[in-house]
Structures are given as C-alpha cells and as structure tokens.
Amino acid sequence: MTELEKMKQGLWYDANYDEELVKKRYQCFDLCHEYNLTKPSCFEQKNKIMEQILGYLPKSLEIVAPFQCDYGKHIQFGEYVFVNYNCYFMDGAKITIGNHVFIGPSCGFYTAKHPLDYQRRNDGLEQALPIVVGDNCWFGANVSVMPGVTIGSGCVIGAGSIVVNDIPDNSVVAGVPARVIKTINQ
C-alpha cells in the first residue's frame, strides 16, 4: 500500500519523506503561490488557477489571497463560499465545506495529527482525519478546526476559537477549546 493510499484511508503514513506526497504538495504550493501573486481584480485568471488547485470550481467561490493548502484536491467547497485572507487548509484528509459558509481571516482547518512519541514523529508519521462543515456557517477570525471534527449547519464559531469536538447544528461556540454557548433559533 502506498503512503497516499494510507493517507486517504486515515492510517498512519509517511507525510514528510514519501517522494510522491512531497511532489504533490509542492505542485499545490506552486499553484497557491501563483494564485497569491495574481492581482485581486483578475477574476478569470484567479478562477483558472483555483480550478487547477481544487480540480473543479464551485459556483460563487471567493477566496481572498493569501490562501494556502497542501493538496487542494481533497477540499470540497460548496456554493457561495467566502474565504477571507490568510486561511490555510491542511487537506491530507478530505475537508468538506457546505454552501453559504463565511470564513474569517487567518482561519485554519487542520486534518493532520502526529504521534505523541518523538521517534515516530521524527520518522515523519502523520494521520489525516476528515473535517466536515455544514451549510450556512460563519467562522470569526483566527479559528482553528482540528482533525476529525464535524460542525453542523447554521453554526457561528467565535473568533479565536479552537474547535476540537463535533458541534451540533445551529450552535454558537467560542473558546479554547470551543464549547457551545447557546443554540440559535433559526
């Protein structure tokens, strides 16, 4: 089994030294670099680059540069998604973002986790767990979403929150770690 296959199955895999994965990441890094250097008003050029990064282009996706991801092809954006500047999608596993989601500046979606023991960490091992975000969510600035988290639809995530657990639909969450503050009557 290849390291890419292990990664896609949520198994421990060699993230740092496997030539195939390193090559795929650097291809994506180069495309992100090109996207980030494109004039903000050059919508057609930006859309072409984003389509190369993601492998598709969802309706009314707007991503403000700078933007960074590891593979791109593991991100599934819904329609009418807005991603503010300086966001990072660590997409070793699939990251699914629903429709009408607004993501504030400097947010991170992190699918990777590492072994606690340094010998295995030094060997480059990593495990990638998927992240799922429902429809109609709003993320304040500097939110971090950790590996394996599912956030329901209609949620508001307060600025600076670190989301480590699943969040039910229509929740307002905040804090480190993020916890449900109240339920929204939609």
**Distance from CA of residue 182 to its chain's centroid?**
25
Distances (CA, A) of 118 to 11, 92, 123, 128: 18, 21, 8, 18
- The terminus-to-terminus CA distance of the chain in angstroms comes to 46
Start-end of H helices in the chain: 3-8, 19-37, 43-54, 118-122
Instruction: Confirm if 159 and 176 have CB atoms less than 8 A apart.
Output: no
Catalogue the active-site residues: 114
Q: How far is CA 138 from the centre of its chain?
A: 14
Count, in order, helices (H) and strands (E) of the chain: 4, 19
Question: In 10 A of CB 166, how many CB atoms?
Answer: 11
